[in-house]
Amino acid sequence: MQVSSRRLNRTIESQIYKMLFGLMADIKDPREVKIVMDDLLTSSELTAMAKRLAIAVYLDKGRSYEDIKNHLKVSSATIASVAEQMGNPGIQSALNRIKAEQWADEVSGKISDLVKKVLPR
């Protein structure tokens, strides 16, 4: 989709962003988010967004540009663009949520393993 160069009325622009962000915040089920995103975004737009998030995760883990380029099939320019945003609150919030989920999955797995060892079958 090509974005028009004609500027939207600021009130309308504010309302449509508020509607979009409110919708995304209200959806709690990842499957429903996928359905909505699939219908709102083209495949290319969705892939670009997902790759940008993955780039941020890889950069946060200290991966090299070359490694990121090879794994995600992105350009150095795209990596640099994401790298410039790494200190921004939105990226940091996303990374913190991802880290918290990964930590919870890790702890949950360890607890399950421990329970299996302690409880007789």
pLDDT tens sequence across 58-93: 999 999 999 999 999 999 999 999 999 999 999 999
For residue 121, the model assigns a pLDDT of 62
Query: 3-state DSSP call for residue 16?
Result: helix
pLDDT at position 74 is 96
Residue 54 has pLDDT above 70, yes or no: yes
* Distance, first Cα to last Cα, the chain: 57
The residues, any chain, with a CB within 8 Å of residue 67's CB and separated by 6 or more, are 58
Measured distance CA(25)–CA(46) in Å, rounded: 18
Q: Which residue has the higher pLDDT, 25 or 111?
A: 25
Residue 4 pLDDT grade (very low, low, confident, very high; cuts 50, 70, 90): confident
How many beta carbons lie within 10 A of that of residue 91, not counting itself? Answer: 21
Stated pTM of the model: 0.79
**120: its two tokens:** 């007789």
CB 79 within 8 A of CB 55: yes
Q: How confident is the model at residue 13 (pLDDT cuts 50, 70, 90)?
A: very high
Q: What is the model's pLDDT at position 120?
A: 62
Q: Count of CB atoms within 10 A of residue 59's CB?
A: 19
